[in-house]
Amino acid sequence: MVADEARFQAYKKAFLYLGSETPGKIWLEVGAGTGVLSLQALDGGHAAFIHCVEASAIYRQIEVVLNSNEHKGRYKVYNARIEEVELSPVETKVDYIFSEFMGYFLLHENMLQSVLIAKDRFLKERLNDKDDAMVNQPLVIPYSCHIFLAAYSNLAHSEEMLKGFIYS
């Protein structure tokens, strides 16, 4: 994630876009990895508290990253799949969910379903108040994705790959 400057900057822009509307808000990161996106949200003052969910052993790095940047007490780490997580009794709902779930070809890491489960279980409901400037803001980041696909054929490559294959 960190090595992919375009994706990293896209999240930074999304957090900046939400800007001053988010201080005091509770966030949830699904598939937190090493916690670099949580760090970005906390450093920018966008989140008051973040629930960091990471199922793999890399979850240990989240505390190292966030504590070394003076964010102790502003996050909670869960070493589990989002489907198994129960948030603290005080905060059972969050204001924003973010996740770097794409991988290549958008679905490779197979985390989209987990993000949707997190949205259904943990995202606060928004009132449709005309005076609320945040009503039209995205609550899940990223909030839309597109897959572009084009057919391609390379006859020479196909023949090389199938050389020696018996068709019967």
Active-site residues: which are they? Answer: 100, 109
d(CA 78, CA 56): 10
Q: Measured between alpha carbons, how far is residue 86 from residues 76, 118, 128 in Å?
A: 12, 11, 27
40 and 61 Cβ atoms separated by less than 8 Å: no
Token pair recorded at residue 101: 């779930």
Q: What's the burial of 29, exposed, middle or buried (CB within 10 Å: 0-12/13-18/19+)?
A: buried
40 and 109 Cβ atoms separated by less than 8 Å: no
